[in-house]
Amino acid sequence: MDKAVPRAALSGSLKDYRTPKNADLMKRAGGFFSWQDLRREHGLWPYARSTSGAPRAHCQATSDAGRTYSGVNFASQDYLGLSSHPRIKATAVSVIAHYGVHSAGSGALLGNTSHSLRLAESLSQFLGGREIVLYPTGWAAGYGAIQGFVRSEDHVVMDILAHSCLQAGAAAATQKVHYHRHLDLNSVARKLASIRASDTENAVIVVTESLFSMHSNIPDIRSLRELCNAYGANLLVDCAHDLGCMGEAGLGQLGEQRMLDEIDIIIGSFSKSFASNGGFVAVKDRSSAEYLKYYSATHTFSNALSPAQAAVVLEALAIIRSEEGKELRNKLAGNVLNLRNAMQRLGGEVLGKPSPIVPVRVGNEALGRLMSRRLSEFGAIANLVEYPAVPLGQTRFRFQVMATHEPEDIAEVAAAFNAAMHAGEAEFASYVAHVAAHTPIAPATNIA
């Protein structure tokens, strides 16, 4: 290991700076910034990078310390590669020429356009006739769906690994939030039974995701529905990462598990497969949709999707529902399997089920940071994920696959990861030995 790298840059996590103590709010950030800047100084801060072009299979990136590098790109959320599709770009240019670049209003006021109305109609058709409420971001949709419907006496039963937008929405709505073990149906059943044993009057909503993006694993949605039926609960499913890019018709796990019609509230995001920011909530009747529009803060008090965003998503949806969309999904699925197989051949611990997210577990934070620093040197770009996105000691690389990746791209990223893994492991072994040599051994305690 480079002996110039201090121990503090390889230890600690964001958890250490979550609740700093200082009467001056603005001074509380100092400890975090010092730790962050130490990591940045030694090339161990892998976040807040920027690109100088479109998020294609190969791109140039710049770290927030100003270091520029290029390589094969497995760090972008553009699963079908639609952000650079000629039809998508032409649509954006045309709509901007006519509408300008801003919606200039909330969706509850004058922020809607003909494109957003058509988008809601097309999404409704895609999702079997549901009512659609559009949001400016996917995060706003997840937060707003729970905050808009749930009241202080209601209960939320939520997977412990649910996305932060869902957790924040629940926390804003009620103190009666019950977390269950990840994907554990018995844990869900115990929570529901306990709630209904003492409260049969108030609402209960079970909250899950159709594809958990840090683990690439999938719930048994039908069994969750059956539990909800047994205990008089509603079911919310966030489909941010699989809708559009997985399944025969692009309906993700709701389609694959034949559960599209069985979900009370469906949440979707446009930022993964639909070439834009934004999101939506889909419900079964107009009364629910109208209620949400005026009681969901992130809809009522946020500007609506820009005209170009709405038009781009509408065009992306048309592609997704076409034969071309099916071909892109098939190409993506093949790329996913190829990458998972390549990483497993290298001895990587590949997590979850096949999806556009291929998580490869590293475990130790220091090792992950050292490997991440090396990965870009070997010509690959991928995201290192640490706490709080994953538990402490569960650091991983999250490779995000696109339909536009070619076999040689997969071979290239696998080779780069292999080289980074070996280099990082050698540095980490040196670091561990250095720490052991400089750590005093506590005297033995006489317990006789």
Does residue 83 carry a pLDDT above 90? yes
CA dihedral 189, 194, 196, 202 (to 10 degrees): -110
By the 8 A CB rule, do 382 and 75 touch?
yes
**Is residue 283's pLDDT more than 70?**
yes
Buried b (16+ CB within 10 A) or exposed e, 43-62: bbbbeebebeeebbbbbebe
User: In 3-state terms, what secondary structure has residue 212?
Assistant: strand
DSSP letter at 47 equals -
Superfamily designation of domain 7-76+323-437: Aspartate Aminotransferase, domain 1 (3.90.1150.10)
Q: Each residue of 117-160: pLDDT tens digit?
A: 999 999 999 999 999 999 999 999 999 999 999 999 999 999 99
Task: Measure CA 186 to chain center.
Answer: 26
Q: What is the pTM of this model?
A: 0.92
- Residue 424 near residue 370 (C-beta atoms within 8 A): yes
Q: What is the pLDDT of residues 166-187, one digit of tens each?
A: 999 999 999 999 999 999 999 9
For the chain, the domains span 7-76+323-437, 86-320
Which SS3 state, helix, strand or coil, does residue 413 take? helix
86-320 belongs to CATH 2.60.120.10: no
Q: How far is CA 26 from the centre of its chain?
A: 29
Quick check: helix, strand or coil at residue 381?
strand
Neighbours of 106 (CB within 10 A): 17
pLDDT for residue 353 is more than 90:
yes
Are the CB atoms for 358 and 340 separated by under 8 Å? yes
Q: Which residues of 421-433 are buried (b: 16+ CB within 10 A; e: fewer)?
A: bebbeebbeebee
Which among 285, 166, 160, 149 has a CA at the least distance from the CA of 204? 149
Do 254 and 128 contact (CB within 8 A), yes or no? Answer: no
